[in-house]
Chains A and B, each alone.
Chain A
Amino acid sequence: MLSPFLKKIRVVIALIFFTLTLLLFIDFTNTFSITLIDAVLYLQFVPSLVKFINLLSFSIIGFLIIIILTLLFGRVYCSTICPLGILQDVFLFFKRKFKKKNIYTYRKASNWTRYSIMIVTILFLIAGSTIMLIFLDPYSIFGKITSSLIRPIIVFINNLTVQLLSNFNNYSLYPFEIKSPDPGSLIFSILFLVLIAWMTIRFSRLYCNLLCPVGSFLGFLSRYSLFKISLDQTTCNQCGICANVCKAECIDILNKKVDFSRCVGCFNCLDSCPHNGVHFTFKRPLNTLQKQEAPNLSKRNFLISSGLLLISGLGISSITNAQRRSRRRFVQTPIRKEHPVTPPGSISINHYNENCTACYLCVSVCPTQVIQPSFLTFGLKGILQPKMDYSANYCNYDCLRCGEVCPTGAILPLTLEEKQLTQLGKAIFVKKNCIVYTDNTDCGSCSEYCPTKAVDMKPFRRNLFIPYVVPEICIGCGACEYVCPTEPKAIYVEGNPVHALAKKPETKKIEEETSDEFPF
């Protein structure tokens, strides 16, 4: 039997996946290759599923592998591949360091809650909304926490080291700018971390068995797993040691039963039993206990829960509308963008909103950090999803990184040629804000940075030049907006709700007589 090794194998696999996933979200130096990123994230359930629905491509079957794995061995995903699951194990590890021992006791299943959350999530997904996943998908929660909270700390440490080294004329490391994030999104990331940490310390893996839609789905499947954990009805003397080490709190020692639908596959119980009475063996699907605990989802209950959800949703959206209205009253800037800008490859705001689970991997890998988490830029539908923030920076003309890494297909990969012709939005010039107009001095930053010369300069007044925009060749990269020195900006990018095809800038070979003499 492998039983004594299962826990060790689980820990090793978990550490590998966890470390790699953590590093992906921290890597501000962009050292990870796309192949490695793809490989690490291939098995993440929700991204893989969303991408599959999005593209209907059979090369994306990571989620199917997980389903098969679950039908074989139960929810091993939750303790080896899911980064949030392992993060909870890390919390529990540290809790054990400070407190002598974590002692768990059996908890009754909250089937009604967990399965209705799962069903509502699926219904939302079918209706084309990822909002439930933005708040509940474990991978995306982990991404938000790491990208918004852990990464800045690592960058800060890096920057301190750089400063220290530069005092000794050592420039082998380099600093990285930490952009101040949108407070709304930051608060949510902190909330996620605090809630997960608190739930873990207080109730161990309750998140996985109450709120996590992936956990509930895989839990439902694991009722039919071929291999299951069970107690030996003859040798078990109900000492309760196995129940005391069960993080999922699913071993019912009184009835000598294991609720395998809640088992997260940590295998801690296997070698805990002094009588060798916990087995991980081939089982006939659906034993009596599970039938008893099968979800009792009456139509009425379901309607109530959906209704409550709808009301809370409306509540949030009405709050945001109120905020928006009041904001308008106070802000005097003449620039009002009709549409936000989404990253290159996201096709349209709709496609983007419907597929992004706000994992912030694009935020983490973007070399210029133009991709920033938003709060309500896209409304409730795209709450917390990242946006192109041209106050933070602008989109690098030759970079394809976000599309290459996006695990859900919200941002699809582009070729360089496609990217350089993808119009995310159009620059709009506001003459009355422009330095050249207001101060009668040269500026031209916008045109200087424009990669296609969609922003060009023409003669103005006496001996000056003023910008003008050729919208057909503008790709909406935001360089002009970012560098514009005025406040409010004299040039800004109005997002295209659906990305368009820009014209290729025309160039003409400069022909000029060159002299062999000096002109002086």
Chain B
Amino acid sequence: MKRRDFIKNSIVTTVLAGTSLMLGRYLKLFGAGLPSPDLPYDLVAIKGTDPVVMFDKGIESLGGMQKFVSNGQKVVVKPNIGWDAVPERAANTNPALVKRIVEHCFNAGAKEVYVFDNTCNYWKNCYTNSGIEKAAKDAGATIVPGNSESYYHSVDIPGGKRLKKAKVHELILDSDVFINVPILKSHHSSRLTIAMKNLMGAVWDRRYWHANDLHQCIADYSTLKQPDLNIVDAYNVMKTNGPRGISVDDVIQLNSQLISTDIVAIDAAAAKVFGLEPEEVPYIIKASEMGIGTMDLSELNINRIIL
């Protein structure tokens, strides 16, 4: 983004929002002044038998959670809690993994950790039956509802081609650190749901996305500030009938996990883990073309850990 555009935008939003508090929110979204952590790898891929241990090893190889979370910060963890389904059905992110991530955040000095999703099914059942509410609370996180428009605030997307505006959950706008924890699944709308698609759960008005070139909207939204860290749960993977699934028959065990700050790279790698080429998922191509991240895995410095 050009400096001039940025200033112009700030002025417009100041006028619109009318308060310096709101301005602060918007500034954060454009990623102003956020140093990207100096990391040894672009992507860490882990295979193992326990998602918790896998995350421990993976984050350690990146230098630990303190690379992303510093003392006193406010962290939001956004898993996929979209569906009223038990963990075995792999429709939602593994609760044990969510719990471990929250623990790492607190260990790194986080003041508060929030967990939420704008669910597809009735939100209370999703939170309970996914096991994520309990897991997150056990680790000390605050569970926040995403079920009401009042939590969402309109944000401009200057880099978007079809999606020019979105209503974003206030936690995404207010937090210092945003950790995106999707689960890899087949998806009847977008082919696959991984990291970029998971961000649809941070906005309110997603029906618009479906009506206005879904793949382009997914890519457009990622032109906003990206999550500070993406962790893809690919341990149990829903191979068909996604994203909701019908039964555990839809699920196979791929024993994998991916960690990266590059949302396009992690989606491309996850697509390969799933058994598709990244080129088969239109929003990955679009996002790569828009320069949001790197789709070509050969360009990346990948740490492969097999436990």
Contacts and interface: CB of A to CB of B under 8 A. Distances in A.
Is B one of A's binding partners?
A: yes
Interface of A: 159, 162-163, 166, 169, 171, 174-177, 367-368, 396-399, 435, 439, 441-445, 447-453, 456-457, 463, 465, 483, 485-486, 505, 507-510, 512, 514, 516-520
Given A169-B112, A171-B144, A449-B244, A441 B215 contact: yes
B210 A519 contact: no
Contact of A159 (B148, B244, B251): B148
Contacts of A445: 189, 207, 210
Given A451-B244, A507-B247, A520-B297, A171 B145 contact: yes
- Scoring A396, A439, A442 by chain B CB atoms within 10 A of each residue's CB, the highest score goes to A442
Contacts of A465: 188
A207 to B, nearest CB: 38
Given A175-B147, A509-B249, A514-B253, A443 B244 contact: no
A443 B211 contact: yes
A163 to B, nearest CB: 6
Contact of B143 (A171, A368, A442, A507): A171
Interface in B35-50: 45, 47
A514 B189 contact: no
Nearest to B251: A510
18 contacts: A159-B148, A175-B145, A367-B124, A396-B84, A396-B125, A399-B122, A399-B125, A439-B213, A443-B211, A447-B188, A451-B244, A456-B188, A507-B247, A507-B249, A514-B252, A514-B255, A518-B304, A520-B45
A258 B189 CA distance: 73
A508 B247 CA distance: 9
Considering residues B112, B151, B244, which has the most beta carbons from chain A within 10 angstroms of its beta carbon?
B244
Nearest to A507: B249
Given A177-B148, A442-B282, A509-B249, A448 B143 contact: no
Contacts, number: 135
B81 to A, nearest CB: 14
Given A159-B150, A175-B150, A507-B249, A396 B189 contact: no
Given A169-B142, A442-B282, A463-B282, 19 more contacts: A162-B148, A171-B145, A174-B148, A175-B147, A175-B148, A177-B148, A397-B84, A399-B125, A439-B211, A442-B213, A443-B210, A443-B211, A450-B244, A485-B210, A507-B247, A510-B239, A510-B251, A516-B306, A520-B269
Contact of B211 (A368, A435, A519): A435
A224 B243 CA distance: 66
Given A171-B142, A398-B84, A444 B249 contact: no
B244 A516 contact: no
Contacts of B239: 510, 512
Interface in B176-210: 187-191, 207-208, 210
Nearest to B191: A442
A46 B247 CA distance: 43
A310 to B, nearest CB: 44
Interface residues of B, number: 57
A517 B254 CA distance: 11
B273 A514 contact: no
B302 interface: yes
B117 interface: no
A385 B151 CA distance: 33
A510 B112 contact: no
Contacts of B208: 485
Contact of B189 (A166, A444, A463): A444
Nearest to A160: B150
Interface in B129-145: 142-145
B13 interface: no
B170 A442 contact: no
A443 B273 contact: no
Nearest to A438: B211
Contact of B188 (A162, A397, A457): A457
A506 to B, nearest CB: 9
Contact of B47 (A175, A449, A453, A516): A516
A180 B148 CA distance: 15
Nearest to B274: A519
Contact of A448 (B125, B187, B213): B187
A442 B170 CA distance: 29
A185 B160 CA distance: 43
A447 B240 CA distance: 12
B104 to A, nearest CB: 21
